[in-house]
Chains A and B, each alone.
Chain A
Amino acid sequence: AQTVTQSQPEMSVQEAETVTLSCTYDTSESDYYLFWYKQPPSRQMILVIRQEAYKQQNATENRFSVNFQKAAKSFSLKISDSQLGDAAMYFCAYMEWGAQKLVFGQGTRLTINP
């Protein structure tokens, strides 16, 4: 079974600084998708960024970017110019193409220090 591991239960960063959240996954499949979701105190799950495994180029969405290392099965999220509104729980998730099911990591709680 596929598993997703987030080894950092908590992270903190100074406002305006850059922080990287780690995620590794285990799969024998070659066709899959990876996601980062953000869950603020409101508990809503908000999609941050998406990466297709067949694409070599790392995905970027404004201040958010990923470092996708397929051979190493690593998928880290970099947040640049951190803002107070970025404080949240961040979940890494995996989906096998056609499986229609997200497998989540345990989450990393990110604190932004003013």
Chain B
Amino acid sequence: DSGVTQTPKHLITATGQRVTLRCSPRSGDLSVYWYQQSLDQGLQFLIQYYNGEERAKGNILERFSAQQFPDLHSELNLSSLELGDSALYFCASSVHLDRVYGNTIYFGEGSWLTVV
């Protein structure tokens, strides 16, 4: 158990709909990351938040957005869903810029999204 909690574990939704994925980081971790794993694109970095502020952005679509709340949990919002958005979405967390822990990133179990 990595200590990173993601909900829901699975969800099925229709095209055009909107879903929200939720993540609770490990205790003490200020950084939260979102990654997408699909069959054709592999593991792709979407976005990172540090202590409530957006810190880095990757290949995140404009239809997707995220935020990190004061209690450090994070949500990834996916809207106007398309078939191609079907993927495993990982949340991860880390101690920020820590030489001792080497910026090791710990992953949650992922949220399986199927768009039909």
Residues on A facing B (Cβ under 8 Å): 33, 35, 37, 42-47, 50, 52, 91, 95, 97-104, 106-107
Q: Is the interface of B mostly helix, strand, loop or mixed?
A: strand
Q: Mark B54-73, 1 if CB is under 8 A from A, else 0.
A: 01101000000000000000
| Cβ–Cβ contact B42 & A104, under 8 A | yes
A-B contact count (CB 8 A): 61
Of all chain B residues, which has the CB nearest A99? B56
Q: Is B109 an interface position by the 8 A CB rule?
A: yes
Complex CA–CA separation, A42 to B88 (angstroms): 12
* Additional A-B contact list (6), CB under 8 Å, known A100-B48, A101-B58: A44-B109, A44-B110, A95-B105, A97-B103, A102-B35, A104-B42
**Shortest CB–CB separation between residue B55 and chain A, in angstroms?**
6
Per the CB 8 Å criterion, the residue count for chain B at the interface is 28
A43 and B88 within 8 A (CB): yes
The reply to whether B90 and A45 contact each other, CB–CB distance below 8 Å, is yes
User: Within the complex, what minimum Cβ distance (angstroms) separates B18 from chain A?
Assistant: 24
A45 contacts B107, C-beta separation under 8 Å: yes
Nearest Cβ in chain A — how far from B94, in angstroms?
8
B residues with CB within 8 A of A: 2, 31, 33, 35, 37, 42-43, 45, 48, 50, 55-56, 58, 88, 90, 92, 94, 96-97, 102-107, 109-110, 112
Contacts of B106 in A (CB 8 A): 47
Q: Whole-angstrom distance between the alpha carbons of A78 and B45 in the complex?
A: 27
**Cα–Cα, bound, A102→B56 (Å):** 11
* A95 partner residues in chain B, CB cutoff 8 A: 103, 105
- Which of A42, A97, A102 contacts B105, CB < 8 Å? A102
Residues of A close to B90: CB separation below 8 A = 45
- Residues of B with C-beta under 8 A to A46: 2, 107
